[in-house]
């Protein structure tokens, strides 16, 4: 399933399609899984405009996360995944978090140019990759940023919103699991060595603490070291779609890349298959316990 584009922009056409939704044969779980940063299609014009090589650009990518969670499809939940890379467009931001220093031309007056993420170079159209290297050789036309937002960002969020609404209608509640990975170097000295997975629920505001607790319990049962909300509490997607008061829950999962891949080459390691199986087991266990709970109880926790 993809967004039905009536007037595809060049930005959208370059990815053909820019994102997909892998649907289960029957939607039997009240979950939607999303991997917004796993895209690995880098258009030639983007590579030409960049001062970085392809491997350096991929430092921002949540490489292989879509594959880590692929088993959820056969379990009965849809999996939405981007094809465009995070370095090109980040859908885990507000639609117009833009740095005016990046563009030739005037940004729309409603653009958020002062957020901390923009200041760090990680806005909707990022200025830097995850390790702080500048992406572009020069400034971009402001029309290019608008085209990416109109042609990719907005269709992506329309589709994700539709999946959540459909799930809520079918089950009475919906659980969005926003799937990411984190470089091991992103962990501070305090977290290093004790964080395999970080769960972000916006400090208890984006989903039921009961749900977060269940996920944490079953991950710990697999032997993982789990932290909550530090250093990642959840981004725009978690905050925007998490409305536990009406039974719509959003939980971000950040997985330490050192668990499953070589962070220099981005190649998966021998532990990859085991991690896939452990994550699948966690979903099965959580789904079984959530099914036993009335939606009103989840919403009220």
- At 21 the pLDDT is 98
The phi and psi torsions of 46 (rounded to 5 degrees) equal -65, -45
- At 194 the pLDDT is 72
Whole-angstrom CA distances from 212 to 117, 192, 252 are: 26, 22, 10
pLDDT band, residue 292 (cuts 50/70/90): very low
In three-state secondary structure terms, 12 is helix
Q: Are 36 and 92 in contact (CB under 8 A)?
A: yes
Of 42 and 12, the structure prediction assigns the larger pLDDT to 42
Of 119 and 298, the structure prediction assigns the larger pLDDT to 119
- At 297 the pLDDT is 47
- At 131 the pLDDT is 85
H or E segment and range at residue 181: strand 174-182
Report DSSP letters for 182-235, one per residue: E-GGGS-TTTTTS-SEEEE-TTTTSS-HHHHHHHHHHHHHTT--EEESSS----
C-alpha 44: how far from chain center: 24
pLDDT band, residue 293 (cuts 50/70/90): very low
Task: Average the pLDDT over 73-89 and give the result.
Answer: 98
Q: Are 37 and 180 in contact (CB under 8 A)?
A: yes
pLDDT (tens digit, 9 = 90+) per residue, 184-237?
886 665 655 579 999 999 999 999 999 999 999 999 999 999 999 999 999 999
pLDDT (tens digit, 9 = 90+) per residue, 231-287?
999 999 999 999 999 999 999 999 999 999 999 999 999 999 999 999 999 999 999
Residues for the chain: how many in total? Answer: 301
Q: Are 137 and 49 in contact (CB under 8 A)?
A: yes
Report DSSP letters for 30-51, one per residue: SEEEEETT------HHHHHHBS
Evaluate if residue 300 carries a pLDDT over 90: no
Task: Average the pLDDT over 56-70 and give the result.
Answer: 96
Task: Determine what percent of the chain is predicted with pLDDT higher than 90.
Answer: 86
Token readout for 284 is 């099965």
User: Distance between CA 79 and CA 21 in Å, rounded?
Assistant: 6
- At 240 the pLDDT is 97
pLDDT band, residue 13 (cuts 50/70/90): low
- At 232 the pLDDT is 96
- The pLDDT mean for the chain works out to 91
Q: Measuring CA to CA, which residue among 62, 19, 8 is closest to residue 156? A: 19
Instruction: Report pTM.
Output: 0.92
What domains appear along the chain, each with residue ranges and CATH number?
Answer: 10-300 (3.40.630.40)
- At 5 the pLDDT is 38
pLDDT (tens digit, 9 = 90+) per residue, 107-162?
999 999 999 999 999 999 999 998 899 999 999 999 999 999 999 999 999 999 99
Q: Measuring CA to CA, which residue among 71, 74, 29, 46 is closest to residue 171? A: 29
């Amino acid at each position: 399933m993809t967004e039905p584009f009536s007037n595809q922009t060049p930005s959208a056409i370059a990815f053909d399609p820019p994102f997909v939704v892998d649907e289960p044969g029957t939607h039997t779980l009240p979950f939607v899984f999303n991997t917004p940063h796993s895209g690995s299609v880098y258009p030639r014009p983007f590579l030409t405009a960049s001062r970085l090589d392809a491997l350096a650009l991929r430092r921002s990518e949540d490489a292989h996360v879509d594959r880590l969670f692929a088993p959820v499809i056969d379990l009965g939940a849809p999996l939405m995944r981007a094809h465009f890379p995070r370095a090109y467009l980040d859908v885990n931001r507000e639609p117009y978090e833009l740095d005016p220093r990046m563009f030739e031309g005037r940004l729309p007056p409603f653009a958020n140019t002062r957020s901390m993420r923009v200041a760090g170079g990680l806005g909707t159209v990022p200025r830097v990759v995850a390790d702080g290297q500048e992406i572009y050789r020069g400034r971009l036309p402001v029309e290019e940023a608008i085209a990416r937002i109109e042609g990719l960002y907005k269709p992506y969020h329309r589709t994700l919103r539709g999946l959540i609404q459909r799930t809520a209608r079918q089950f009475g509640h919906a659980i969005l699991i926003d799937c990411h990975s984190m470089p091991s170097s992103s962990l501070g000295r305090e977290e290093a060595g004790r964080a395999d997975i970080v769960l972000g629920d916006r400090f208890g505001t984006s989903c039921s603490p009961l749900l977060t607790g269940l996920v944490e319990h079953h991950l710990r049962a697999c032997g993982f070291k789990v932290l909550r909300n530090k250093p990642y509490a959840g981004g725009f997607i978690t905050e925007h779609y998490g409305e536990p008061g009406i039974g719509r829950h959003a939980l971000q999962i950040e997985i330490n890349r050192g668990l499953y891949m070589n962070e220099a080459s981005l190649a998966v390691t021998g532990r990859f298959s085991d991690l896939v199986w452990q994550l699948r087991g966690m979903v099965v266990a959580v789904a079984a316990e959530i099914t036993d709970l009335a939606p009103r109880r989840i919403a009220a926790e």
